[in-house]
Amino acid sequence: GAGVSQSPSNKVTEKGKDVELRCDPISGHTALYWYRQSLGQGLEFLIYFQGNSAPDKSGLPSDRFSAERTGGSVSTLTIQRTQQEDSAVYLCASSLASGGGSYNEQFFGPGTRLTVL
């Protein structure tokens, strides 16, 4: 079956420009996560959507970062006024809903490699 897809796979932008990254989760998965992976670093949590609940935005590094999820499916991560330190691979993952405390494997997409010049 179809996995998590992300687009674009690569994005090169100039400092100060805005970028939008897209994630299509696995059909039926109500939970969606954004992480970023910088060179030599572990995956860093950014934001989490669960159904119709308010998203957990506690991992967003600054107010230049925002994300939305329309119709409980596709999600867009927006970075405004990009900076060179934003260069990283941005990974999206999805999972089935959980009641908290139960096991729900997260399935990751291939990521978007963002390079800010």
Partner 1 sequence: GQNIDQPTEMTATEGAIVQINCTYQTSGFNGLFWYQQHAGEAPTFLSYNVLDGLEEKGRFSSFLSRSKGYSYLLLKELQMKDSASYLCAVSPYGNNRLAFGKGNQVVVIP
| Residue 108 CB, nearest approach to partner 1 (Å) | 4
Residue type, 93: A
When the beta carbons of 79 and 91 are compared against partner 1, the nearer one is 91
When the beta carbons of 80 and 96 are compared against partner 1, the nearer one is 96
| Residue 43 CB, nearest approach to partner 1 (Å) | 4
Among 23, 19, 7, CA closest to 106: 23
When the beta carbons of 12 and 15 are compared against partner 1, the nearer one is 12
Residue in the structure block whose two tokens are 């970028």: 19
The answer to whether the CB of 21 falls within 8 A of the CB of 88 is: no
Residues at the interface with partner 1 (CB under 8 A):
4, 31, 33, 35, 40-45, 48, 50, 56, 59, 91, 95, 98, 100-111
The answer to whether the CB of 88 falls within 8 A of the CB of 10 is: no
